[in-house]
Structure 1
Amino acid sequence: MFTKVLISDDLGSINQGVLSVLDNLGINNVQQVQYCDDAYLKIKRAILDEAPYDLLITDLSFKADHREQKYPSGEDLIRALKQEHPELKIIAYSVEDRLQKVRLLMNTYHTDAYVCKGRHGLVELEKAIQLVYDNKNYLSPQVAQAISHKTDLEINDYDIELVKLLSNGLSQEDISIHLKDNNISPSSLSSVEKRLNKLRIQFKANNAIHLVAIVKDLGLI
């Protein structure tokens, strides 16, 4: 079992629950931080001291305060650490349950497990720790479909942005203007129309409102 664990979460009450799970697993060498920058520095320091952490458990959302952060979110922290130290095991423990976010963390950043905070969160976290220790992945049941082949939809960040703007009441012409103003391409009206039409066909949506509803139900926005 893991012998040295770091918890990164700005809510002390959540940390207590995680500590109880680790204690049940016989893991006693546990340290806690409330800022992602501190987590990054501790992990780097431990590697230099030849006493690296085996596991990082981190939230994704951290409340901003007076302290400027290089890594303001758990997502930023995970991306940096997995690029520099891919051998480090990382479990994301978050209330975030949008499938697009889960897919990004699991498929692109190679997070080892994704556990949703909630009624069964601590039970799932204990299971995740055991599986990750055995070099396996884990996802909470409510987000497991994020990496299922059945929902491996051809949709990217650009598509998500289009549907978000659509859900905010913008017309296709307004979306085109917004994209141009923010230097997002392609931004022409014809490109926006073609892409939204392709998404409607892909998701079998009857119209724009139906498309937004489907994408929301899938947890993509």
Structure 2
Amino acid sequence: MFKKVLIAEDIDTVNLGLIDELSKVFDFEIQHAKYCDDALLKFKKAMLDNKPFDLLISDLSFIQDHRNCKLHSGEDLSRAILTLQPETKIIIYSIDDRPQKIKSLLKNPGINGYICKGRESSKEMISTIKNLAENDIYLAPDLVHLLNQEPAYEIQDYDISLLKELSHGYSQDDISKNLKAKGINPSSVSSIEKRINKLKIYFKAKNTVHLIAQVKDFGLI
């Protein structure tokens, strides 16, 4: 079982509520931080004291205020912590329930669990922590069902290349030339147009600008 847990969450009520629920079930030490930068400092100090955290629970989004921070999201914090201590287990605790976003996060090495904030999220957190003590990855059954309900279409490297070209403002003709130069196929204008339309449908985007905004929001580019 875990010995020391760090919670990164900028909403006091969520922080205190989660700490209270976990303290009823577990006897591990719990510390928390409202800013990702502060969470990383706590993590570094714990390592120097030879009393490292072995579990991070982090929100994805943090409200920006007057303070100038280097780390702005749970993803930034997770990457920084895994660089320092790769064996740390990480649970993302977020209101974001978009399947594509969750799938993209779970593909990242080091993300061991994902919990959507909601009515039963405290119970799911307790269950996830218990399961992660024995497993590398654990998802609540409801979340597994949600992910399985998604269309079978999977975003491919080709799609990412295409979306990056679009985000740089290139026309379909320019993209065709760029893809041909890189040896990426299919590279014809008609193939590119069909793929863009397919991506618009998949992401429920009204136009190309909306499509780019959507995929950036998902963290795909």
TM-score, normalisation: structure 1: 0.73
CA contact (8 A) 2:88 2:110 kept: no
Q: 1:17 to 1:212 in 2, by over 3 A?
A: same
CA contact (8 A) 2:162 2:175 kept: no
Amino acid at match of 1:72: H
Q: Secondary structure at the match of 1:194?
A: helix
Residue number in structure 2 paired with 1:35: 35
- Equivalent residue pairs, number: 199
CA contact (8 A) 1:179 1:187 kept: no
Residue number in structure 1 paired with 2:182: none
Determine if the alignment matches structure 1 residue 22 to structure 2 residue 11.
no
Q: Secondary structure at the match of 1:108?
A: coil
Residue 181 of structure 1: which of 152, 169, 179 is its match? 169
Q: Please list every run of 5 or more consecutive structure 2 residues that lacks an aligned counterpart in the other structure.
A: 178-186, 206-210
Q: Secondary structure at the match of 1:50?
A: coil
Post-superposition shift, 1:120? Answer: 1.1
CA contact (8 A) 1:79 1:109 kept: no
Post-superposition shift, 1:187? Answer: 3.0
Q: 1:98 to 1:49 in 2, by over 3 A?
A: same
Q: 1:45 to 1:160 in 2, by over 3 A?
A: same
Post-superposition shift, 1:146? Answer: 7.6
CA contact (8 A) 1:60 1:93 kept: yes
Q: 1:39 to 1:180 in 2, by over 3 A?
A: closer
1:149-201 per-residue CA deviation (whole Å, 9 max, x = no partner) reads x86643148747978xxxxxxxxxxx97x544389xx7349766524524767
Q: Please list every run of 5 or more consecutive structure 1 residues that lacks an aligned counterpart in the other structure.
A: 164-174
Amino acid at match of 2:175: S
Q: What is the rounded CA distance, in whole Å, between the counterparts of 1:199 and 1:182 in structure 2?
A: 13
Residue number in structure 2 paired with 1:62: 62
Give the superposed CA RMSD.
3.7
Post-superposition shift, 1:28? Answer: 4.8
CA contact (8 A) 1:180 1:187 kept: no
1:59-89 per-residue CA deviation (whole Å, 9 max, x = no partner) reads 0100001111111001111122223321011
Q: 1:126 to 1:60 in 2, by over 3 A?
A: same
Q: 1:179 to 1:4 in 2, by over 3 A?
A: closer
Residue number in structure 1 paired with 2:183: none
Q: 1:9 to 1:158 in 2, by over 3 A?
A: farther
Determine if the alignment matches structure 1 residue 73 to structure 2 residue 61.
no
Post-superposition shift, 1:43? Answer: 0.6
Aligned residues with identical type, % of pairs? 39
Post-superposition shift, 1:112? Answer: 0.9
Q: What is the rounded CA distance, in whole Å, between the counterparts of 2:97 and 2:33 in structure 1?
A: 23
Residue number in structure 1 paired with 2:49: 49
Determine if the alignment matches structure 1 residue 197 to structure 2 residue 194.
yes
CA contact (8 A) 1:103 1:146 kept: no
Q: Secondary structure at the match of 1:19?
A: helix
Post-superposition shift, 1:211? Answer: 4.3
1:22-51 per-residue CA deviation (whole Å, 9 max, x = no partner) reads 212232521111000111111111111101
Q: What is the rounded CA distance, in whole Å, between the counterparts of 1:125 and 1:145 in structure 2?
A: 17
Residue number in structure 1 paired with 2:102: 102
Q: Secondary structure at the match of 1:86?
A: coil
